[in-house]
């Protein structure tokens, strides 16, 4: 546990050598140190080594055999803080009980990619994490061989103890670490065969679990420093509006309030990173001594807002193109729906075309056409956006929840003019990410505020600020068409997808490659509502829509929905259409067969209202079967069976947790959640009007199965979410006899008299 590091600063620190990754971690986290000093127990202090020896940037070994492994990537609940160090420990051949995990500081010279996004932490870290462990192991073995004057080949190691096969000599890592630190870093190291894994593939508990269940300070919002002030923002009430004026005099006199001013986070001439997404650059800032005082002052503040003509011009043009009178440029959900249905498809561009789809549709005996939509969504991380900043004349210390520290560092550099080497960004554990904290405007805001005040400050968003601040999942729309010939055979497939302001289309994913005549088109419409990646971007809608359409198609063709998909995948595997298909048809079919088997699909309990779906994204394959019943016009989800192929599973029980969570997240948002707009204003701003899935609505059981194919790990944080929305829609159809085309489904459930089939 990371607690043991208490007191590092009081003792002699790193004995450093050159480093495999090309750099060194020097110094340590001043905040983490301060924090843990308070927590350190006597028992833990006794485990402290007197000296640490750093063998490379990923790890250091204490003279008593304790090993500290740095977890490079941001922890947002995906559990990489446990699973990434497990991979290092595996190759290091160390007893996991002797491992302490620490969050690494931002240092891309050593850790290369330090980003939580795209379900890529394990996939992209796999080789470097293993190499770091294996390199250190090799250096320890070499040091022991030198000391005993025997060849390295005669040595073996288990749980951090090196033994010599020709004698009874043995030595612990702690005893040889000092010598190992002097060994030249090997140019090549051998990695283990999968069969020899002892830690990878075994379930290890979350390294922060004890701190979580005892309420220890772990999150950005838990940061308190001497002299620190609390800052909160007041932002425009609607997208398309901006600050005009304010009367702050009364508020400045309120108890505990120290300052009220405006900031411009991203001036127009500033070069932005991709992650610098912010709907509102100009903000009012209220600063005070305590959070409650600042919250009260915010409410009392008199601010005038005005329309920003530059922001709203594009929307006015769109409105006029839709023949709407009185175009204001302030968006509403009705406007969005109308634009997506009537204007979007007219802007379509062909992205992929196989065969002669137009001709096939002309000659079709029957064409089935269905359209699907979804609303904007907020991320709603349970820990609202926040960041601690202490900016002095030439130095910036930043501490808090950020998924993209590397990019945030560049933004702070450009915005504040402070040299990169004087900007220190430390990552806290995060109360959720889901893509929201990829966009670090709140970090930049905190830095700007601290610089202006010349004091340490914690910027805190209220829930309302957080939910109405934009960076939403876009609204999407897709129309599918299928051409059937006189024999009820599928002859062509057409997908036309778009959204505000991006298209959810993945033109080269299934069923591309499985159909002779295929057409994929894409379009987008402008908006002044800011959007961002939301767990499984684009897939989080199009998977459910596509899998619903395939379900309906299978029914129209009189086929079993799983067998229908398997037949298509067989074609894609044996004789693929086109060359750019980006999925492995055999692995895709594999999860479908697994879920068929595990759910007892073929045993045919026809009383069950069950739906199936399968999808490929973030390099992984997931198939799900969902069983539900309807009670009082609300679905009760009895069971979900999940089959997952994400290659090697590093930490099985934690991976199951992730699949369970992704499944519940997907069900919840497809069923209940939406952000709607009137006159540019979000109509939901807290959990009383933004419905999130709760205990009662969660599935009664979730059964998770992993394929075991020995392939290097692929993504897991996102892939379980997209297909479940299709499985849900298909099960709802079984239960109600009606198809569900428009998310959130609960709106349609409420407006129809649902009937139970059984």
Partner 1 sequence: MATFNITINGKKQAVDADPSTPLLWVLRDHLKLVGTKYGCGIAQCGACTVHFNGSAVRSCQLPISSAADNEITTIEGLSENGDHPVQQAWLEIDVPQCGYCQAGQIMSASALLKRNPNPSDSEIENAMNGNICRCGTYTRIKTAIKKASNSEIA
The contact set with partner 1 (CB under 8 A) reads 76-79, 203, 205-206, 208-210, 212-219, 221-222, 224, 230, 255, 290-293, 295-296, 380-384, 429-434, 462-463, 653-654, 657-658, 660-665, 668, 686-688, 692-696, 698-702
Which residue's CB is nearer to partner 1, number 543 or number 693? 693
* CB 429 to partner 1: min, Å: 7
Which residue's CB is nearer to partner 1, number 40 or number 355? 40
3-state helix, strand, coil in the chain (%, to 5): 35, 25, 40
Count other Cβ atoms within 10 Å, centred on residue 292.
11
Taken in order 383, 386, 388, 394, the sign of the CA dihedral is positive
* CB 719 to partner 1: min, Å: 15
* CB 463 to partner 1: min, Å: 5
Burial class (CB in 10 A: 0-12, 13-18, 19+), 676: middle
* CB 215 to partner 1: min, Å: 2
DSSP per-residue string spanning 690-722? S----GGGS-SEEEEEE----PPP---SSTTHH
* CB 570 to partner 1: min, Å: 34
Separation CA 381–CA 372 (nearest Å)? 27
- Cβ atoms of 510 and 580 within 8 Å: the answer is no
Q: Virtual CA dihedral for 526, 531, 535, 536, nearest 10 degrees? A: 20
Separation CA 388–CA 450 (nearest Å)? 9
Which residue's CB is nearer to partner 1, number 215 or number 486? 215
Strands (E), 165-281: 170-172, 229-234, 241-247, 257-264
* CB 664 to partner 1: min, Å: 3
Which residue's CB is nearer to partner 1, number 152 or number 382? 382
Which residue's CB is nearer to partner 1, number 75 or number 409? 75
Separation CA 159–CA 96 (nearest Å)? 8
Separation CA 238–CA 236 (nearest Å)? 6
Separation CA 535–CA 5 (nearest Å)? 34
Identify any residues that bridge with 172 across adjacent strands, giving them in sequence order: 161
- Residue 101 to residues 160, 235, 291, 561, 672, Cα–Cα distance (Å): 16, 39, 32, 46, 38
Which residue's CB is nearer to partner 1, number 445 or number 703? 703
* CB 92 to partner 1: min, Å: 23
* CB 256 to partner 1: min, Å: 8
Which residue's CB is nearer to partner 1, number 180 or number 721? 721
Separation CA 64–CA 62 (nearest Å)? 5
Count other Cβ atoms within 10 Å, centred on residue 579.
8
* CB 682 to partner 1: min, Å: 15
* CB 291 to partner 1: min, Å: 5
Taken in order 635, 641, 646, 652, the sign of the CA dihedral is positive
Query: Alpha helix locations (H) across 333-395?
Result: 333-342, 357-362
Residue position matching structure tokens 């390294």: 207
* CB 222 to partner 1: min, Å: 4
């Amino acid at each position: 546990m990371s607690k043991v590091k208490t007191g590092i600063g009081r003792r002699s620190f790193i004995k450093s050598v050159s480093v495999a990754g090309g750099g060194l971690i020097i110094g340590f986290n001043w905040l983490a140190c301060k924090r843990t000093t308070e927590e350190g127990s006597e028992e833990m202090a006794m485990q402290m080594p007197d000296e640490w020896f750093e063998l490379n940037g990923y790890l250091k070994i204490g003279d008593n055999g304790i090993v500290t492994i740095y977890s490079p990537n941001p922890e947002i609940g995906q559990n990489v803080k446990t699973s990434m160090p497990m991979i290092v420990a595996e190759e290091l051949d160390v007893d996991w009980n002797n491992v302490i995990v620490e969050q690494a500081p931002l240092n891309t010279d050593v850790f290369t990619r330090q980003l939580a996004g795209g379900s890529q932490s394990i996939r992209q870290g796999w080789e470097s994490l293993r190499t770091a462990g294996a390199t250190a192991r090799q250096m320890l073995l070499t040091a022991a061989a030198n000391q005993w004057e025997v060849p390295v080949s005669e040595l073996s190691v288990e749980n951090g103890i090196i033994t010599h096969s020709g004698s009874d000599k043995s030595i612990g890592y702690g005893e040889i670490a000092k010598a190992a630190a002097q060994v030249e870093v090997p140019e090549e190291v051998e990695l283990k065969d999968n069969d020899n894994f002892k830690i990878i593939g075994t379930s290890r508990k979350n390294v922060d679990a004890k701190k979580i269940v005892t309420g220890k300070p772990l999150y950005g919002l838990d940061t308190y420093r001497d002299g620190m002030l609390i800052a909160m923002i007041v932002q425009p009430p609607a997208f398309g509006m901006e600050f005009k004026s304010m009367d702050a005099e009364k508020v400045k006199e309120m108890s505990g309030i120290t300052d009220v001013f405006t900031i411009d986070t991203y001036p127009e001439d500033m070069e932005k990173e991709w992650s610098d997404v912010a709907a509102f650059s100009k903000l009012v800032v209220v600063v005070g001594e305590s959070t409650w005082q600042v919250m009260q002052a915010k409410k009392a503040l008199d601010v005038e807002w005005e329309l920003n003509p530059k922001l709203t011009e594009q929307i006015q043009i769109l409105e006029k193109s839709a023949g709407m009178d009185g175009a204001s440029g302030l968006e509403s959900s009705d406007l969005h729906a109308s634009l997506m249905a009537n204007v979007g498809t007219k802007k379509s561009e062909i992205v992929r075309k196989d065969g002669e789809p137009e001709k096939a549709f002309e000659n079709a005996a029957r064409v089935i056409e269905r359209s699907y939509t979804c609303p904007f969504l907020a991320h709603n991380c349970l820990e609202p956006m926040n960041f601690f900043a202490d900016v002095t004349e030439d130095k910036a210390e930043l501490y808090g929840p950020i998924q993209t520290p590397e990019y945030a560092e560049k933004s702070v550099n450009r915005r504040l003019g402070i040299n990169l080497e004087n900007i220190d960004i430390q990552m806290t554990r995060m109360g959720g990410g889901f893509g929201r904290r990829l966009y670090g405007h709140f970090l930049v805001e905190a830095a700007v505020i601290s610089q202006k005040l010349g004091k340490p400050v914690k910027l805190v968003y209220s829930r309302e600020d957080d939910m109405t601040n934009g960076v939403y999942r876009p609204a999407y729309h897709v129309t599918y068409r299928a051409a059937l010939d006189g024999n009820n055979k599928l002859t062509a497939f057409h997908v036309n997808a778009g959204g505000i302001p991006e298209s959810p289309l993945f033109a080269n994913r299934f069923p591309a490659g499985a159909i002779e005549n295929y057409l994929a088109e894409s379009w987008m419409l402008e908006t002044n509502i800011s959007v961002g990646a939301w767990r499984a971007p684009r897939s989080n809608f199009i998977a459910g829509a596509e899998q619903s359409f395939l379900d309906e198609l299978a029914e129209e063709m009189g086929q079993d929905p799983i067998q229908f998909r398997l037949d298509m995948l067989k074609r894609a595997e044996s004789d693929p259409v086109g060359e750019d298909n980006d999925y492995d048809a055999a692995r895709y079919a594999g999860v479908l067969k697994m879920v068929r088997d595990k759910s007892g699909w073929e045993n045919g309990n026809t009383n069950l209202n069950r739906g199936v779906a399968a999808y490929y994204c973030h390099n992984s394959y997931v198939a799900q079967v969902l069983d539900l019943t309807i009670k009082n016009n609300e679905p009760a989800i009895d069971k979900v069976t999940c089959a997952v192929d994400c290659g090697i599973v590093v930490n099985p029980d934690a991976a199951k947790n992730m699949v369970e969570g992704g499944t519940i997240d997907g069900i919840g948002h497809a069923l209940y959640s939406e952000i709607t707009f009137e006159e540019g204003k979000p109509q939901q701003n807290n959990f009383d009007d933004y419905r999130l899935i709760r205990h009662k609505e969660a599935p009664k059981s979730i059964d998770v199965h992993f394929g075991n194919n020995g392939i290097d790990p692929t993504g897991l944080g996102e892939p379980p979410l997209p297909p479940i929305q299709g499985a849900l829609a298909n099960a709802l159809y079984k239960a109600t006899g009606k198809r569900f085309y428009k998310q959130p489904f609960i709106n349609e459930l409420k407006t129809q008299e649902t009937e139970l089939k059984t």
